[in-house]
Amino acid sequence: MTSELTFLFSGLVFGLSAGLSPGPLLTLVISETLKHGVAGGIKVALAPFLTDLPISVAALFLLSRVSNLPPVIGVIFLCGSVFLVYLAYESLCFKGATVDTGKTKAQSLKKGVIANFLNPSPYLFWISIGSPSVMKAMNVGVASVLLFLGGFYLLLVGSKILIAVIIGKSRFFLKSRNYIYTVRLLGLILLIFAAFFFKDSLKNFGLI
């Protein structure tokens, strides 16, 4: 059960970090909320449910093809570690969010889907972080996979919905200390996961 909770925790951390950190989708959530109300922001927040499935399936398929090649898996874990360090750096340097609120036609869900498909972050995440995590979870059991994915999407989408609701009441939240410090704390946690990924890469290279 301890291993299962570990995957749940990692899914929650990755999901919350992706949900709160600045990026095209979060910017669109905020702008659609300010221009078209909370409902518009929520529609954008739901976009990962539509876009992530083909991306994650493709990444898992590719990873399964090389799962018996430790050096290749080592490179993937190393890339995941580097990507996590980059995400952590962005989070630690976070000083608040701003957004352009120019008037546009309301097509929130469509905009969210397009923004997420064109955003490189989901591809990088699933290739270097998400898929390796799912493969490790599969070695423990189906429950671990479900807990990781459930925790990830619960906070990835849930945090963006929460931001839309809060922004609908007060846009000053974007510059609040609570928001800034939460993102920075997540940055520190991401550094810890980066170390774990680096350790896994060394194991696959046969160095430890």
Q: Please, what's the b/e burial string for 180-207 (b: 16 or more CB within 10 A of its CB; e: otherwise)?
A: bebbeebbebbbebbeebbebbeebeee
Q: What per-residue confidence (pLDDT) applies to 16?
A: 95
Query: Residue 25's pLDDT is what?
Result: 87
Considering the chain, what is the average pLDDT of its residues?
89
Q: What mean pLDDT comes out for the span 83-96?
A: 92
Q: Distance (Å, rounded) from C-alpha 41 to C-alpha 31?
A: 8
DSSP string, the chain: -HHHHHHHHHHHHHHHHHHHS-SHHHHHHHHHHHHH-HHHHHHHHTHHHHHHHHHHHHHHHHHHHTTT-HHHHHHHHHHHHHHHHHHHHHHHT--------------HHHHHHHHHHH-HHHHHHIIIIIHHHHHHHHHH-HHHHHHHHHHHHHHHHHHHHHHHHHHHH-GGGGG-HHHHHHHHHHHHHHHHHHHHHHHHHHHHTT--
User: Is the pLDDT score of 177 beyond 70?
Assistant: yes
Is residue 142 left, alpha or beta, with left meaning phi > 0 and alpha meaning psi from -120 to 50? Answer: alpha
Q: How far is the C-alpha of 154 from the C-alpha of 10, rounded, in Å?
A: 12
pLDDT at position 197, please? 96
For the entire predicted model, the pTM comes to 0.86
Integer Cα distance of 73 and 36 in angstroms:
44
For residue 105, name the pLDDT band (cuts at 50, 70, 90): low
What pLDDT, in 10s, does the model give residues 39-70?
999 999 999 998 888 999 999 998 888 888 89
Q: What is the pLDDT of residue 101?
A: 54
Cα-based distances in Å from 155 to 12, 160, 166: 6, 8, 15
Q: How far apart are CA 26 and CA 121, in angstroms?
A: 12
Work out the pLDDT band at 174, boundaries 50, 70, 90.
Answer: confident
Categorize the per-residue pLDDT at 96 as very low, low, confident or very high, splitting at 50, 70 and 90: confident
Buried b (16+ CB within 10 A) or exposed e, 32-68: bbbbbebebbbbbbbbbeebbeebbeebbeebeeeee
Say if residue 106's pLDDT is above 80: no
